[in-house]
């Protein structure tokens, strides 16, 4: 058992080293065109300009949304954007890059290399504009942290970081099954974009302002609530103190990662049944 664990750990570390080296090479290659590199970062920031405008209006004009304080809403927006920025950095290739690979019949070459197909897809290119998403998220989250009435102990800061990572895994858990279906039909790419738009829109608001049916849908069908809303409820002390709901909200980062593992299994299952466009 010990040997098996050591072997898996060694493979994981090797994969991580390769991924880091490939990412650095991709970034170095993009830096050959510094103007283009800077433009993509600025474009990522401008793409989120509506979010910055929303945050500014919320701070200057309103005390909150519904029964939710403005500082809490800012925390939701900042955490979601940071999670989305990390998702775009790490898993962004599950969308456009994979669609191109499938349409051009180039996925087959990835089966011949020692790294997993998923790892090769993820490190095939680096999405520079993700820096813009992440930067806006950091700014909004910092403003929310400064304004929210919370005693930021090390435990709460660790929970905040875990929740942001959990949000990244939750987005991956939503997009991985779509990517798996994309192996069979590139038309699934449109579904992934649609879900991404819904999560980007709904994820910026406290779900308490929505009707009950939508709150249920965005908790159990498209689990947007786990990205930032539930963690912020926990940080604000608004989550139930006991019962299954309390455990689910507190354990949101764990729930996100478990959903990711399930999605990854679905991806692997579909990969074993992949058939190229040439038959």
Decide if 186 contacts 105 (C-beta within 8 A).
no
pLDDT band at 178 (very low <50, low <70, confident <90, very high): very high
Q: Which pLDDT belongs to residue 4?
A: 64
pLDDT band at 204 (very low <50, low <70, confident <90, very high): confident
DSSP string computed for 35-65: HHHHHHHHHHHHHTHHHHHHHHHHHHH-SEE
pLDDT band at 59 (very low <50, low <70, confident <90, very high): low
Does the global pTM surpass 0.95? Answer: no
1: pLDDT strictly greater than 60: no
51: pLDDT strictly greater than 80: no
List CB contacts of 160: < 8 A, sequence separation 6 or more. 79, 145, 231, 235
d(CA 178, CA 110): 19
């Amino acid at each position: 058992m010990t040997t098996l664990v050591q072997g898996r750990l060694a493979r994981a570390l090797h994969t991580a080293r390769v991924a880091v080296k490939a990412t650095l090479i991709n970034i170095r290659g993009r830096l050959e065109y510094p103007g283009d590199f800077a433009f993509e970062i600025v474009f990522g920031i401008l793409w989120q300009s509506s979010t910055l405008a929303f945050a500014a209006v919320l701070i200057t004009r309103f005390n909150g949304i519904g029964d939710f304080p403005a500082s809490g809403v800012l925390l939701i927006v900042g955490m979601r954007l940071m999670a989305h920025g990390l998702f775009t950095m790490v898993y962004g290739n599950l969308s456009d890059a994979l669609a191109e690979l499938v349409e051009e019949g180039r996925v087959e070459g990835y089966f011949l290399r020692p790294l997993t197909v998923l790892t090769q897809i993820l490190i095939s290119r680096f999405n520079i504009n993700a820096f813009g998403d992440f930067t806006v998220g950091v700014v909004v989250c910092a403003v929310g942290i400064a304004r929210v009435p919370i005693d930021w102990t090390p435990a709460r800061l660790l929970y905040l970081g875990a929740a942001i990572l959990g949000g990244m895994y939750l987005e991956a858990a939503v997009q991985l099954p779509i990517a798996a279906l994309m192996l069979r039909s590139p038309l699934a790419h449109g579904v992934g974009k649609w879900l991404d738009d819904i999560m980007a829109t709904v994820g910026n608001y406290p779900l308490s302002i929505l009707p009950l049916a939508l709150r249920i849908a965005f908790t159990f069908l498209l689990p947007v609530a786990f990205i930032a809303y539930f963690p912020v409820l926990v940080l604000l002390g608004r989550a139930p103190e006991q019962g299954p709901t309390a455990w689910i909200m507190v354990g949101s980062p764990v729930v996100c990662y478990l959903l990711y593992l399930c999605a990854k299994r679905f991806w692997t299952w579909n990969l074993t049944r992949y058939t190229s466009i040439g038959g």
